[in-house]
Amino acid sequence: MPHNILAPGAVLALWTIIMFFWLAAARFPALKKAGIDLTKSPPGGRGSDLEGVLPPETNWKSHNYTHLLEQPTVFYAVILILHGVGGYPAYVAWVAWAYVALRIIHSVWQSTVNRIPVRFALFLLSTLCLFVLALLAVIATLG
């Protein structure tokens, strides 16, 4: 894998869009099966309104998509800082790749099996990677 710190961010951004299409592919048939016509839904409706209406397995994909728009925003900021500072060792990019790999595995797990102990372990490991990257970004900007 390349040592460009921006590459993992690009892959995670692409994965986030893939998750959006996955959730849409799961949600639209589930809406039809539930007899929900989106053209007749009240103004201001949100995906969270479908909790308890659609099967949990359908909503898991939406939950994960939301998660990919939360903590990874810190990841994007951190890799931009590291890229801006430049001169980082190759292992920094590998930590970023580890973060992305763990987030993708987390997505697949949450969207299919969704057993919390494994999901939490994947989240914790990815968060530790993000912590290391953020710490390295602080060191790089203060040094």
Whether 30 is covered by a domain: the verdict is: yes
CATH number at residue 60: 1.20.120.550
Model confidence pLDDT, tens digit, residues 37-82: 877 777 877 776 777 889 999 999 999 999 999 999 999 999 999 9
Model confidence pLDDT, tens digit, residues 3-40: 799 999 999 999 999 999 999 999 999 989 988 887 77
Whether 1 is covered by a domain: the verdict is: no
Q: 34: which residues sit within 8 A by CB, 6+ positions away?
A: 53, 54
The tokens describing 66, both together, are: 């939301």
Whether 22 is covered by a domain: the verdict is: yes
Model confidence pLDDT, tens digit, residues 95-105: 999 999 999 99
Whether 56 is covered by a domain: the verdict is: yes
Instruction: Give the domain range for residue 51.
Output: 6-142
> What is the total count of domains within the chain?
1
Average pLDDT, the chain: 93
Report the greatest alpha carbon distance in the chain. Answer: 60
Q: pTM for the complete prediction?
A: 0.92
